[in-house]
Structure 1
Amino acid sequence: MNKYTTDASALTRPDSQVIGPVCVDVNVDAEGAVSRVVGGAVICAAAAAAALGRRVEAVASVADRDQSLLSHFPDAVERVVPVPSMRTSSIRNVYTTSDRERRTSSALSRADPIDPTDIPASAAPVQHLAGLMVGDYAPGIVEELSSRGDLAVDMQGFLREPDPDSGLLDLRRFDAGRKFYRRIRFLKVDTAEGEHLTGCTDRYDMARALQDRGAREVMVSNAREILVVDDEGAHVCPLRPRSLAGRTGRGDTVFSAYITERVRRGVDQALLTACATVSLKMETAGPLVCERTDIDNYLARFYADLLDTREGGNHGQ
């Protein structure tokens, strides 16, 4: 069976459906070294879910001339639905610190918007909008997809807008009302995005503010730990990577791992597994390619102090 297909009859029941543009990242580190990585949120997110042993379907926009880039989805991603575009997205990231926590990003090119009609109906329990910048999705996509089932939204795809002259990505004003947030089960921001949306500087306050607007579970990511706020309160787990060589794609990986695990597990255990997954990913550039046993071993080695406190420590199912 062809892995790359738009034939809805060929689609199996996935654990998640990840939707977004393929992106060619041009990364410049603090010493000036340049690397080119094919990824984007959709590939990093699909890779993370697949590494956890979940069945993944990706819906990815890419230019016809760049169809070969779809091969960068790991083999474990069972289905890739190409969405035609005049251009393939590309972003230049210039890191100004050795820990890769400060960067400026510029859009070199941007794919055409993905329309709801491009996305096959899916029996996946969650659909994940893994966007990169404003314009990745056609208007009304949140409304349409939320009518199909649970929706996960990374807000960078609705906030980061390229300057028309320089291409520099900056956060735009976003005035969506409660109807927008109430359609979202899982919502993710980093601290800059959360402050931009809410005016709050404290991560807990920004997460609660976004939950108050209607999102059921809100994730806030930063360099040290991941925070999730839901109706039960705040949940926090540290990141413990041994290297930052794979810093690009951190948020995409941890969010996908969390929502994929969350379908079957409680918040604390899903968050613990997600933090171990992204810590392992951050040690190597590019999307995460590994087996579930590699993540379980990472948990046992670097999160042993937390395993027994999070829902019994059963991580392999």
Structure 2
Amino acid sequence: MACEVTRLRIIGEICLHTFDFVSVGAYTKDTIVTRSGTRQVHGGGYSYSAHAARLLDQRVGAVTRLAREDVDSTRLLRESGVEVMVRPSEKSTVMRLEYPTTNVDERILTVTDVADPFRVEDVVDVRAEAILISASIRGEVSLPVVKAIRERARLLGVDVQGFVRIVTPEGKLAYQGWPEMSEVLSLVDVLKTDAVEAEFLTGQADIRVAARKLASFGPKEIVLTHKDGLLVLANGEYFEQPFRPVELRGRSGRGDTCVGSYLSSRLQSSPEQATKWAAALTSLKLEEEGPIRRTRSEVEELIRRQYS
């Protein structure tokens, strides 16, 4: 039987799918708790980053793990033109994110269920100019799967969080040393981290020093987010831009949106231009809960007004 490419495909026969940008990561069913209330949100770095990449009118795909009852969570992605490739899991990852203070980088994360890990066969049919691994928890994407994805992408992006975060016996997310760090980072072109993760991995509180130390393991470019903005280290040169949201309402997904917009922009722009694009797009995302729903023209207008 011939392979029919659709926007949503549950794994069956193997067909080759070619894209500009692909995100890989488990869907997360999120409960977000802030001082303003409690909300249920469809999450997962794979979704936030794919939504961001779509603003550049690229061919965007997304490979995710979720329970069958959560397939409708992919509707927004499909409606925006992203081809979603669902790898069924017995359970979806279920996460609770609590923000106890006004400091958006201070949060408590707990997990009650975890999706099945990705397998090599889950990515064999995907090829892309850039693939971003947007895992949430260690074990979601193993080293063999990273190696398989490396063979299928010209540029490989990796988010640190999916390799340093573990679920404790109490169900909380915590950082733990990354035994395979050297081997994984030697395969990576663009590494995404935040300031807390960077300090944990390097012991350096200075984000510039931490970025340079991470780059020494092999990544060509470091994308480091912090509460005020974005630092990029590329080809030995630093680029920095602030986040400038009018109102901060959507902290969850900040880093995923930022790296998705940066990596997709790098397919057609310099590191300096991609840094501006990512900072501006992420600023607009921060104004609303959920994935970015603004337009390319709105991002370009913000760049003209605030990032010239």
Q: CA deviation digits over 1:63-111, x for unaligned, max 9?
A: 1222222214252233110011010111101101124231111112111
In 2: Cα distance, 1:74 partner to 1:257 partner: 18
Q: CA deviation digits over 1:216-270, x for unaligned, max 9?
A: 1111110112111122321111111111111110000000000000111110001
CA shift, 1:177, in A, is 5.0
Is 1:218 the counterpart of 2:222? The answer is yes
- Is the contact made by 1:182 and 1:213 (CA closer than 8 Å) also made in structure 2? yes
In 2: Cα distance, 1:135 partner to 1:175 partner: 12
- CA shift in 2, pair 1:177/1:285, >3 Å: closer
In 1: Cα distance, 2:107 partner to 2:45 partner: 17
Paired residue for 1:267? 271
In 2: Cα distance, 1:80 partner to 1:117 partner: 16
Q: CA deviation digits over 1:151-190, x for unaligned, max 9?
A: 10001001111112x2110001112253321100000111
Which of the numbers 178, 183, 189 marks the counterpart of 1:179?
Answer: 183
Which of the numbers 43, 49, 54 marks the counterpart of 1:45?
Answer: 49
TM-score after normalising by structure 1: 0.90
Which of the numbers 228, 236, 239 marks the counterpart of 1:235?
Answer: 239
Is 1:141 the counterpart of 2:145? The answer is yes
Equivalences, count: 301
In 1: Cα distance, 2:196 partner to 2:57 partner: 32
Is 1:162 the counterpart of 2:167? The answer is yes
Which of 213-222 and 66-75 deviates more? 66-75
CA shift, 1:300, in A, is 2.1
Paired residue for 1:281? 285
Is 1:30 the counterpart of 2:35? The answer is yes
Which of the numbers 144, 147, 151 marks the counterpart of 2:156?
Answer: 151
- Is the contact made by 1:156 and 1:189 (CA closer than 8 Å) also made in structure 2? yes
In 1: Cα distance, 2:117 partner to 2:99 partner: 28
- Is the contact made by 1:228 and 1:235 (CA closer than 8 Å) also made in structure 2? yes
In 1: Cα distance, 2:306 partner to 2:166 partner: 37
Query: 3-state DSSP class of the match of 2:70?
Result: helix
- Is the contact made by 1:49 and 1:256 (CA closer than 8 Å) also made in structure 2? yes
- Is the contact made by 2:27 and 2:46 (CA closer than 8 Å) also made in structure 1? yes
Percent same amino acid at aligned positions? 28
Which of 227-236 and 2-11 deviates more? 2-11
Alignment of 1:107-146 (within 5 A): 107-146=111-150
Letter in structure 2 aligned against 1:138: S
Is 1:68 the counterpart of 2:63? The answer is no
In 2: Cα distance, 1:169 partner to 1:155 partner: 14
TM-score after normalising by structure 2: 0.93
- Is the contact made by 1:220 and 1:227 (CA closer than 8 Å) also made in structure 2? yes
Is 1:92 the counterpart of 2:96? The answer is yes
* Greater fraction of residues in strand: 2
In 1: Cα distance, 2:181 partner to 2:72 partner: 40
In 1: Cα distance, 2:95 partner to 2:242 partner: 28
